[in-house]
Structures are given as structure tokens and as C-alpha cells.
Amino acid sequence: MEFEGKVALVTGGANGIGEGVVRRLAGLGARVVVADVDAGRGSVVADDVGGLFVRCDVRDSRQSDAAVAEAVRVFGGLDVVVLNAGIATGFGLGDDFDPERYRDVMGVNLDGVVYGVHAALPELKKRGGHIIATASMAGLMAMPLDPVYGANKAAVVALVRALGPVLAADGVTVNAVCPSFADTAIIAGFTSFLEASGMPILTVNDVVDAYLAVLRAGQSGECWYVQAGRPSEPFKFPNPPGPRTGRGGRVDLHDPSQEG
């Protein structure tokens, strides 16, 4: 995939991985929309790359709709959407299992992806576009440090895997990137714990490299892991045990003529 002249929208684009993606895509010739709640930092990043800042709280579907509409109004269309906005919960670090905090983190990490896909799809279908959601290794394995974070990232993984084949018919790819711990504000509360445990911490550039690899691969429905010391690639999910028919045979879930 070539990025010259493409239009990209990045949620959570003011800091961390999102900022890294914004700067990399802009450096490759894309026109980039920085969508974030941090207007001060987001405006600086957008100005640095000659892009556009749009304030967007991804928990509100109307704001996701407005961000897409502004991208189209200013740049004439949309080609790439990176749904990256995310926050940690920290329940496993001694905090109470607070329902309000749960709802807040689910709103950003899961609802923000769903609302972003809904807002972007009509425009992406016009030109054949690409969606990448930021998931996490926490969505592929148990995450005792932050169980609710693991739950919403696992939901993002499942959503991407299901949407991939559905949207392929419309010329739209949807994939996820699943980093392990990266050097961003989201791990600020337990960086020392990770370092004491000998856990390698990814640089932002390590993770951004994976986003570019996903876009250039051109596949759909994949979840690429990013871990220090090994190349990124799609995670190979094991085949689960399938349902059985009353006759003792297996049901092919891809064959609608078979009934359980």
C-alpha cells in the first residue's frame, strides 16, 4: 500500500502509539486527522504534520460521526482509520472492582471501536479502505494485572475476526494490532513492576512498524501480535471444538445447509 495522498483518521492520535502512527503516516505522504480529547496536545501534533485536529470523545458515537464528517469535508474522503484510543483500568493493582470505572474503560476501549467502525464504513466502502483497531496481547492471553482491560481487548479481537470476512466483500479490510507492554502513558502506573519482573517494554516505533506491516499485507480479519525480540505476524488461533449434530457428526459453520 502506498500512502501518498491517502486520508487517515487516528483516534487517540495526540499521544503514545496514536501519535506515532500519525507522524509515520504523515511522513509517508498521507493527510492525517488527529482525533482525541486532548485538544492542546492534539493540535500540536496535527500542526506538526500539516494535518487536522478534531476533538473526539470516542465514547460518544455522535463525536465519531462528526470526526469522520470533518475528515471528508476537509480532505475529500477517507482511506485509513486507526481506532487506537484506549485507557487502562488497573483493577488488578489493588483498586476496587468499580462498576463506574468498568463502564468508562469499556466505553473507550470497546464502544470507541464499534462507534468508529460504524462512522467510517460508509466512506471507506466508497474507496476501498482499511480499519486497524488497537487491541493488545491482553486480548490474546490472561491479563491478571488488569482483567477488565483484558476483557475489552478480547472483545476487540473477536469483533475484528468476525468483521474481516464480512467487510471483505465491500473492499474494506479490518484488522487488529495486539502489542505487549509499550512505552506509553497507559503503563505509567506499573512500569517499575514490569522492569523488576524483567518484562521487555516495546518502543512506540516497534508498534508503529506493525501497523504499517498490517496495512501493506492487505489481508483482513487478522490480529497481529507485537512482542519484543520477535517479528510481528498474525496470531494463529487454535481451532475450537465444533458443535455436533444429533447423528454424531460435526457441523460446518460455513455451510448453512448443515443444522445442529
d(CA 230, CA 235): 13
List the alpha helices (DSSP H) in the chain: 16-27, 39-49, 61-75, 99-106, 112-127, 147-168, 191-196, 204-217
Residue 158 grid coordinates = 473477536
Of 202, 140, 196, nearest in space to 16 by CA: 202
Q: How many CB atoms lie within 10 A of CB 81?
A: 31
Is-catalytic flag, 211? Answer: no
Q: Which residues of 92-126 are buried (b: 16+ CB within 10 A; e: fewer)?
A: beeeeeeeebbeebbbbbbbbbbbbbebbbebbee
Q: Are the C-beta atoms of 201 and 191 separated by less than 8 Å?
A: yes
Q: Are the C-beta atoms of 5 and 11 separated by less than 8 Å?
A: no
126: number of CA atoms within 13 Å, CB side?
A: 9
**Virtual CA dihedral for 253, 136, 238, 158, nearest 10 degrees?**
-10
Q: Exactly one of 115, 149, 211, 225 is catalytic; which is it?
A: 149
Of 34, 2, 38, nearest in space to 19 by CA: 34
Provide the annotated active-site residues. Answer: 149
